Amino acid sequence: MDFGSYQNIKFERKGRVIVVTFNRPDHLNAVSGDMHREIARLFGDLSEDSESDVIVLTGEGKAFSAGGDFELLLDQNANPHILHAAVEEAKGAIFSLLDCRKPIIGRVNGDAIGLGCTLALLCDIIIAVDTARFGDPHVKVGLTAGDGGAVIWPQLVGFARAKQYLLSGDLITAPDAAAIGLINFAVSADELDSKVYQWADRFAASAPLALRSTKVLLNMELKRIAHAMMDAGMAYEAMTMTSADLREAIAAFQERRKPGFVGR
């Protein structure tokens, strides 16, 4: 891999395990435009990396990822060219993640929100510190949850729970997420690395062909669902991305007030 081509993601090798870290800690690893473009090609590059068999995905600092940053959202709201490019990037990120044959362990070191939540939930094993929260609050900023949340949540927790959280935008704590099957494990901060690398080392010692082909088989139905939904989901999200409601939601957050949505 050409690590030097990434400015917002860092990499570390631990034998046949590669640790991939979102690296904008001062912004809670919120996704900027540059970082969005990097994530779009990340999993394709990792798939081709001949020196790794297992991927650990995590965040630097206090958060896993706080989702898209406001500058990115406002740029997409104002510029159709940026919005259209971001739609293709988002699809590229989701489909390349699902296509990646290597097992991916989500080391969720803090809050995983929006796109950050979707990326975490699409990992094969999800291990979170017990203080982390998960959520897809697209609706709270006037957006359709179209970039993967509507794909993965129902598969993990069923439609009733998925609708509860995606239509409200509410967050769920890691222990509660583990209790309903949204993630695999919620552990203390002191236990996080031992649990993550217990699984990473276990996968690294497994028969690679069997492990990868089993993952491919398990992901076939999920990929079918994603291919059926993502174009429509991103089209709806793009529609709401140009809305006055999005601009109002961002202004309300910055001014520390409740938004007044108008439905356009």
Domains of the chain: 3-190+202-209 (3.90.226.10)
pLDDT at 69 over 90: no
Q: What is the mean pLDDT of residues 183-212?
A: 98
Q: pLDDT band at 190, cuts 50/70/90?
A: very high
**Distance, CA of 210 to CA of 208 (rounded, Å):** 6
pLDDT at 166 over 90: yes
Q: Compare 186 and 80 and report the one with higher pLDDT.
A: 186
Q: What's the confidence (pLDDT) of residue 258? A: 93
Q: What is the mean pLDDT of residues 225-246?
A: 95
E runs forming strands in 98-179: 104-108, 112-113, 125-129, 133-135, 172-173
**Cβ-contact 134, 172 below 8 angstroms:** yes
- What amino acid occupies position 184? N
Q: What's the confidence (pLDDT) of residue 68? A: 85
pLDDT at 156 over 90: yes
Over the chain, what is the mean pLDDT? 96
DSSP 43: H
pLDDT at 200 over 90: yes
Crossing angle between the packed helical segments 208-241 and 244-254, to the nearest 10 degrees = 100
Q: Which of 3-17, 71-85, 100-114 has the lowest mean pLDDT?
A: 71-85
Rounded to the nearest 5 degrees, what angle is found at the Cα of 46, between the Cα atoms of 43 and 51? 170
Q: What is the mean pLDDT of residues 99-120?
A: 98
Q: pLDDT band at 237, cuts 50/70/90?
A: very high
**Distance, CA of 206 to CA of 186 (rounded, Å):** 24
The pLDDT tens digits of the residues spanning 76-97 come to: 888 888 899 999 999 999 999 9
Q: What's the confidence (pLDDT) of residue 2? A: 87
DSSP 148: T
Q: What's the confidence (pLDDT) of residue 32? A: 94
**Cβ-contact 144, 236 below 8 angstroms:** yes
Q: What's the confidence (pLDDT) of residue 14? A: 97
pLDDT at 236 over 90: yes
pLDDT at 130 over 90: yes
Q: pLDDT band at 253, cuts 50/70/90?
A: confident
Q: What's the confidence (pLDDT) of residue 174? A: 98
Q: What's the confidence (pLDDT) of residue 173? A: 98
Q: What's the confidence (pLDDT) of residue 161? A: 98
DSSP 25: G
Q: Number of helices (H) and strands (E), helices first, in the chain? A: 9, 9
pLDDT at 210 over 90: yes
Residue in the structure block whose two tokens are 């950050």: 116
